[in-house]
Amino acid sequence: MKVLVVLALTLVAVHAASDQELWNQFKVDHGKAYRSFRDEQARFTIFQSNLRTIEQHNAKYENGEETYYLKVTQFADMTPEEFKDFLALQEESKPNLDLEVLEVDSTVAVPDSFDWRSQGVVLEVKNQGQCGSCWSFSATGCLEGQNAIKHNQHISLSEQNLMDCSRSYGNNGCSGGLMTNAFFYVKDHGINSEAKYPYEGRLQACRYDSGQSILHIDNVYTVKQSEDALQAVVAAQLGPVAVGVDASSFSLYGGGVFNPNSCSSSSLNHGVLAVGYGRDGNNDYWIVKNSWGAGWGENGYIKMIRNHGNRCGIVSMASIVSLK
């Protein structure tokens, strides 16, 4: 009995030491600094809880019980409630039903898989930081894709421009916004490049230079709320689509086909970009570009389950533009 007790205590000590090493590396990797020793200890406790969640989930993944795995990300020192507060897509005050629905030729053949990244129209993964500006990154991603397809220009566009200048259209900087609001702002005014108007991750006074607008929008469309319709839009050479999703369970995603036990199709809290779709074994998936840096997920992307009852709401708030 004494031997078993000593062994158990030894394993606990080794586990704690391993947690401490992972914590130290986490702070270095993500530039974490805390206000006080007490604050850091509280964050370390949360980090340890998330480590146990990762271990338990990944054991199921290894046994074939889950289709995706988890890993330590920049959000590993946050509780699930804190992470939800970080997400900042607004509820639609002006429903997509008010927009023109994009019609796709039903006779066009839709391939089994498609990826706009292989077409060279998707730019690098960006990082919104601690600002709730996901909506602006989703919008610029869609615009960048359209600009590459229509004008063969591969120019990174300014999220900060949208944050600072589209408040009268209903957006609220780091506190949330909508991609369609951003599109209507650009339709009326245009948008500067990232180089001209760099990202700062906080709301500032509008400094838009109308003389250096990169593009102009002709029309803003919504996509019919069905996965077949979204697939057709993505695959019919129309471009990456701005979408809203329920990302409440995204925080520790590492890879694989994301299919959580609980995910809303109507309570959407994060703006992302659908750039393609495919199939992994028995699971159809969407290829979705995020804005949390290339270290999150699969090089900044997530594969979201497809043809599974609009899981996480990927077709509930989908929009795209056409350019002049």
**Would you please indicate which residues are annotated as catalytic (active-site) residues?**
134, 270, 290
- Which helix (H) or strand (E) segment holds residue 150: the answer is helix 134-151
Q: What residue spans of 152-275 are helical by DSSP H? A: 159-165, 179-189, 227-233
Round the CA-based radius of gyration of the chain to a whole number and report it.
21
Q: Distance between CA atoms of 45 and 50, rounded to whole angstroms?
A: 9
208, two tokens: 């838009």
Residue in this structure with the two tokens 């991609």, named with its chain if needed: 179
- What lies within 8 Å, CB to CB, of 22 at 6+ separation is 47, 51, 72
Output the CA–CA distances (angstroms, integers) from residue 226 to 131, 133, 229, 259, in the order listed.
31, 26, 5, 18
Tell me the backbone φ, ψ of residue 237, rounded to 5 degrees. 65, 25
62, two tokens: 């290894």
Residue in this structure with the two tokens 């393609």, named with its chain if needed: 276
DSSP reduced 3-state for 23: helix
Q: Which residues sit opposite 276 in a β-bridge?
A: 115, 287
